[in-house]
Structure 1
């Protein structure tokens, strides 16, 4: 139940006790409710399924609060304070290359450690008169495994002994991070002050999330002096889902630091207080259209509008427009479509015995597996793409 003290789920034992009391009220105190009686067995069957529903309701309630939310729900909850989960980042550093004087080492030259952690050079380099050059490198894969000690990068993936004799990192590489855990994210949330007025990534994201119509926003950056992941040097790259172009551009301009480029495929002209023009770039996400095919094993209590109820559950999870024109927010940027989430959203309605769900991105090839949504993309569906039978 939900009252001023919060939510408290009913347990399996409590549900049996309540249903037994109701049965005695309707059939008399002498009714046989033992675990082996027909009515006793029926009560326990219903109590078992209802206990699952109460567990789902408790999870939905808990996911409304940062202290008890998990996964994507926690990501959404902490954004009200302007925080987002720290994702994987590439490690970076420098290596000294020794070889034939005057030789050119092209961008993308691959070096690594003895345990197969590889790095690429980020710029062309020409070996000096003594055959040496210091070159910046980035790890090929994101994560802390790219943070290696000095002297560990000694291997060349495709060696040419006549050009390069030796490679070594004189200093440790740094900057590689793993995806932040729920526990670490909530701990940071507890100690993090409101982000009003800050111009860091989280402050810009917080500002964007307050723009009318914006459903999600992620701001990436490149702090290096070379292009990385398609982002120019010393730039931010906002991805914004929803809101008008002008409102989004004004929000970015009002928060970003001076001298930092806001990069993206959409560029909007913004005037400052002196009527000087500034060009603010950001990127709209690529929409991945999701087709859903659902087969139901219906219970006896399946309502006449049950198909529409099920379709609404799916639209509410993924996001999209209903037949009546209602727009469901659904998933945000880079959030995968999880097939079990769809199944449970239907099971919790308690009007079906079984559910089979298949997903497709083209409406032709369907599979009973999750759909991965990459950077800069968002999943979306609509009533006509959700077929329920």
Structure 2
């Protein structure tokens, strides 16, 4: 029998006896008080009273464990997890809207107040509240889709001015819109918290990467730093950094880079944003979005006796999921694509078919059995329609 029915907190953590152990503890104490002949069966008044006391203490113990675990990001849930991760300077990502980087061209000094751009599907894209066209006559800003969810816009699809403004001439998006996402789950928030622990790192480079990864909306980060005097093979000027950021708001990304980079370090990229520091001084911060490389795949299989037609869609989904999980600059290895195509969610080999051949390429008409090389500033992407599964006749 246990000696104490109350929860305990030790160097090993928190622990508490089970309800059955607490129930037996109270019954033994009752026998010590009233004698061994007391009837504590479940259908007696004394037995029910003991059970009530045991259940109440068991519930208190359970709540104590829940409160204790609420302070650990690995075990906290819901609002408790939201509170626990604040110590890392992060918060749960809310359901988001799609966003797109828009290039606005117009007369210098033009103020665009609460501007709206339209895409080919009549979706509205909301500009920042007040945009001022700089002396160069053009500026890149991040516009947010008016509606929540997966609003898509291909490159060049956002091309109409929804709120005519004197001096504002054209609008376009060079890259596809970043699609909205649902509210961040507990599991995703724990992963973000783990990444954020690199924020106080000794290396400024690691700190920049970690800070960008925890910036709202950012999915992937890569880049090149040049500590030397001469440009690198990638064309990065001396004493500069070139960050490649997938997702996130242009202004927030520029702010993060400015605050985390070292003094005297230049920035390089195709997107430039002027960040005003605490004292109002303008600082031009440049970075790049990854250039998306469409990946096409054809896989030929022979069916086994237990083959079902649904297996074709499962194969496609596995390939797409793997390719889209690759980091910026990571090449598409054909052997790994094959390994993921035949691997089930449980991590075992799918025995419903045998792979006869697999090929990859950047177009459906130029497929080979070689891996696809991805440059440092590119990101491989794949959609279901890019994958072809051919079931060959086994006869």
Which TM-score bucket, shorter chain as reference?
Answer: 0.3 to 0.5
TM-score by length of 2: 0.44
Higher Cα Rg, which structure = 2
TM-score by length of 1: 0.45
